[in-house]
Amino acid sequence: MLYEILIVIYLIVALLLIGLVLIQQGKGADMGASFGAGASATVFGSSGSGNFLTKSTSVLAIAFFVISLVLGNLTANRVKATDEWNNLATPTAAEQSNTSEASAEPATVNTNSDVPVGDDAPATKDNGDVPN
């Protein structure tokens, strides 16, 4: 549950961080604005957004790295599922349990003395009872 919530927050922080970096002006934008290149007609003015965007970018970058470390620690302790197709020479756990069950089944012995044994014995109907 915590892992899924952190993944969603991580994705949102990453998208916001990308957006804020793309919104910011480059270092040479002020120089172009002073010569009339048109950069002064931005949304926040020629230098009005510097503090807000810089602070919010640094906060999102710190959150991004902290969440990355937390997710790394959460996934480092997980047990990885092995691929069944890696080693086909060794039997899987299901095959091993099937062979052990087959060898562990006791032979059914008829202990009822009223039933004749031999060639003249009537065929018995197997009702599918499995011994426990």
Whether 39 and 89 have beta carbons less than 8 Å apart is answered as no
Answer whether residue 26 is part of any domain.
yes
Answer whether residue 25 is part of any domain.
yes
The domain total for the chain is 1
Answer whether residue 82 is part of any domain.
no
Distance (Å, rounded) from C-alpha 90 to C-alpha 83?
A: 12
Answer whether residue 61 is part of any domain.
yes
Which residues span the domain enclosing 36? Answer: 2-76
User: Could you report how far apart the first and last alpha carbons of the chain are, in Å?
Assistant: 40
Answer whether residue 130 is part of any domain.
no
Whether 70 and 77 have beta carbons less than 8 Å apart is answered as no
Answer whether residue 70 is part of any domain.
yes
Answer whether residue 94 is part of any domain.
no
Whether 85 and 45 have beta carbons less than 8 Å apart is answered as no
Q: 96-114 burial, b if ≥16 CB within 10 A, otherwise e?
A: eeeeeeeeeeeeeeeeeee
Biggest alpha carbon distance in the chain?
A: 116
Residue-by-residue pLDDT tens, the chain, 132 positions: 889 999 999 999 999 999 999 988 777 666 655 665 555 555 555 555 568 888 999 999 999 999 999 999 998 877 666 666 676 676 666 666 766 665 655 555 556 556 555 565 555 555 556 665
Answer whether residue 24 is part of any domain.
yes
Q: Specify the amino acid at residue 112.
A: N
